[in-house]
Structure 1
Amino acid sequence: MAYLDNILTFVRVYELGNMSAAARDLRISAAVASSRISQLEEHLNARLFQRTTRQLNPTEQGNLFYRGAVTILEAITEAEAEVSSVTQSPRGTLYVAAPLGLGQRIIAPAVPEFCDAYPLINVRVRLSDRKLDLAAEGLDAGFFLGVPEDSNLKIRKITDCPRVLCASPDYIARRGLPAGSDELRTDKHDCLNLRYPGAPEFQWPLQSGGTTKRVTVSGPFECDHGEVLTAWALEGRGIVLKPVFEISEHLASGRLVPVLEDEPPVPIQLACLYVHRRRQDPKARLFIDFMIDVIKREMPDQLPR
């Protein structure tokens, strides 16, 4: 298993681009990760990374070995999947991702329940509102709000989540209700926007007169963390576009109030993505099925019965 551990460590270092990050991900020390890479280089008689004090870049040999290493690990995963399907005892480590709002409210709280049911599976969860590259970051599955851009991923749609434009009563008292969506294009109102690296121009898709129009919006506040946008909205800093399930308690309490109800946002797709393989890993399939049941339980008004 030592050689396989070395290969796995190499793949994680290659994908994360950082020895320390890979070590944390694998729950080993940076010294152990470095030692494994050195052992692998000695075995191959080739330098896999160019190391500087600040960067770790793969060499040409490293790029070549990575492609083969990924194939090896995928073959092992499929072989384990075959065995697990026979023994009915899935085991191993599962890497999953989810957006912050969904992850904090639904996915992460249900992980201990899943692990109690399947104690041989270790689950590592990453919560982020930025778009993740599942294959490049070594993730087995990711829950996703929106439309994925990567056609190489398999997608399992869960539901379309209603969304709402809303603001605090204090903001409305100061700035007034927008008379129409065109006012969002002007300085009459501040819009709170989710920004992540590589994000396109902010456009809110609104339903108006039976059609969908994309309204370009702007404002003084941007963040790559959806919960920060909610906090700003509660403080009266602007109008925010959110899935209803993320702010239902604030709508119920009146701390946030819907605006432009005649031009509601287009619902956003909630789906699960996973890397396409000839045979889906049983532990990933178990986790996805389990979490979809949890979502149905926690968001009963948003899913078909």
Structure 2
Amino acid sequence: MAYLDNIRTFVRVYELGNMSAAARDLRVSAAVASSRISQLEDHLGVRLFHRTTRTLTPTEQGQMFYSGAGKILEAVEEAEADISDITDSPRGTLYVAAPLGVGQRFIAPAVPAFKEQYPQISIRLRLSDRKLDLAAEGLDAAFFLGVPEDSNLRIRKITDCPRVLCAAPDYLDRRGAPQNSDELRTDTHDCLNLRYPGAPEFQWPLQGPNGVQRVPVTGPFETDHGEVLTQWALAGHGIVMKPVFEIAEHLAAGRLEVVLPEEPPVPIQLACLYLHRRRQDPKARLFMDFMVEHIQAEMARLPL
């Protein structure tokens, strides 16, 4: 097991390009991670990384070893999965990611119930609205809103989530409610937008009498944090496009009001992404089955 730990550490250091980041990901100290790399290098008789005070880059031997190391770990995972299937006692750690709204509303509250049902599976949940690389970040599954750009991933659709345009009563009292989507194309209204590195220009897909149109919008504020958008909207800073499940309680309490109900946004797909593998890890499959059923039940309860 020590040798496998050394290989796992090497793979994460290689993928993340940083010893400290790999150590945090593996839940060990940087000193332990560094020691594992040194032990592996001693065993192989080669240097796997060029190290300076500021950079860490793989050597030619490190690049060669990485390909084989990944195959070793995948083979071990598949063998463990076979045993889990036979013994009907899945175990191990799952690394899962989700957007903030999805994670807070659906995933995080259900993790304890999943853990109670499968006590030998541990969950490491990461919540972020930024784009994620499943392979590079060592994720077993990632919940996702929208259409993934990476065709190399497998996708399991969960549901289509209705969305609305909404704003605080204070904003609508000051600026008036937009009467049509054309008002969003000008400076008549402030639109609050979710932006992350590499995101395309802002266009809201709205359903009108002539079908779906992509309306370009602008505004004074943007962020890569979905909850910040909600707080800005609540504070009266503009109009926001949100899945209903994220702001249902604010709509019910009157803190936010739907605008342009006759031109609603196109629903957004909620899905779970995972890597192509010859054989799917049974604990990942169990987790997805559990969460799909939970999310669909919760969505059915929302006042849409």
1:210 Cα deviation after fit: 4.6
1:150 equivalenced with 2:150 (yes/no) = yes
For 2:54 and 2:202, the matched residues in 1 are separated by 34
1:65 equivalenced with 2:65 (yes/no) = yes
1:161 equivalenced with 2:161 (yes/no) = yes
Q: Which amino acid aligns with 2:171?
A: Y
User: Equivalent residue for 1:270?
Assistant: 270
User: Equivalent residue for 2:116?
Assistant: 116
1:60 Cα deviation after fit: 2.5
For 2:85 and 2:73, the matched residues in 1 are separated by 18
1:205 equivalenced with 2:205 (yes/no) = yes
Q: Which moved more, 1:8-17 or 1:232-241?
A: 8-17
1:16 Cα deviation after fit: 2.0
Question: What SS does the aligned partner of 1:148 have?
Answer: coil
For 1:250 and 1:284, the matched residues in 2 are separated by 34
Question: What SS does the aligned partner of 2:164 have?
Answer: strand
Task: Kindly report which structure 2 residues correspond to 1:1-305, keeping only aligned pairs within 5 A, or say none.
Answer: 1-301=1-301
1:205 Cα deviation after fit: 0.6
For 2:5 and 2:280, the matched residues in 1 are separated by 22
Question: Residue by residue, what CA displacement relative to the aligned partner does 1:128-181 show, whole Å, maximum 9, x if unpaired?
Answer: 001111111110001110001111111110110000000000000111111211
Q: Which amino acid aligns with 1:83?
A: I
For 1:219 and 1:56, the matched residues in 2 are separated by 41
Question: What SS does the aligned partner of 1:54 have?
Answer: coil
Please tell me the root mean square deviation across aligned C-alpha atoms, in Å: 1.2
Q: Which amino acid aligns with 1:130?
A: R
Q: Which amino acid aligns with 1:71?
A: K
Q: Which moved more, 1:200-209 or 1:9-18?
A: 9-18
For 1:71 and 1:113, the matched residues in 2 are separated by 33
1:56 Cα deviation after fit: 2.1
1:63 Cα deviation after fit: 2.0
Q: Which moved more, 1:184-193 or 1:58-67?
A: 58-67
% identical equivalent positions: 77
1:126 Cα deviation after fit: 0.7
Question: What SS does the aligned partner of 2:71 have?
Answer: helix
Question: Residue by residue, what CA displacement relative to the aligned partner does 1:172-231 show, whole Å, maximum 9, x if unpaired?
Answer: 011111121121121111111101111111111111115111111111101000000000
Q: Which amino acid aligns with 2:63?
A: N
Which stretches of structure 1, 4 residues or more, deviate above 3 A after TM superposition?
Answer: none
For 1:237 and 1:54, the matched residues in 2 are separated by 42
Question: What SS does the aligned partner of 2:250 have?
Answer: helix
1:54 Cα deviation after fit: 2.6
When the two structures are superposed, what TM-score results if normalisation uses the length of structure 1?
Answer: 0.96
1:45 Cα deviation after fit: 2.1
Q: Which amino acid aligns with 1:73?
A: L
Question: What SS does the aligned partner of 1:255 have?
Answer: coil
Aligned length: 302
Q: Which amino acid aligns with 2:172?
A: I
Question: What SS does the aligned partner of 1:299 have?
Answer: helix
For 2:222 and 2:189, the matched residues in 1 are separated by 14
For 2:234 and 2:276, the matched residues in 1 are separated by 41
1:301 Cα deviation after fit: 4.8
Structure 2: gaps of 5 or more residues: none
1:61 Cα deviation after fit: 2.2
When the two structures are superposed, what TM-score results if normalisation uses the length of structure 2?
Answer: 0.97
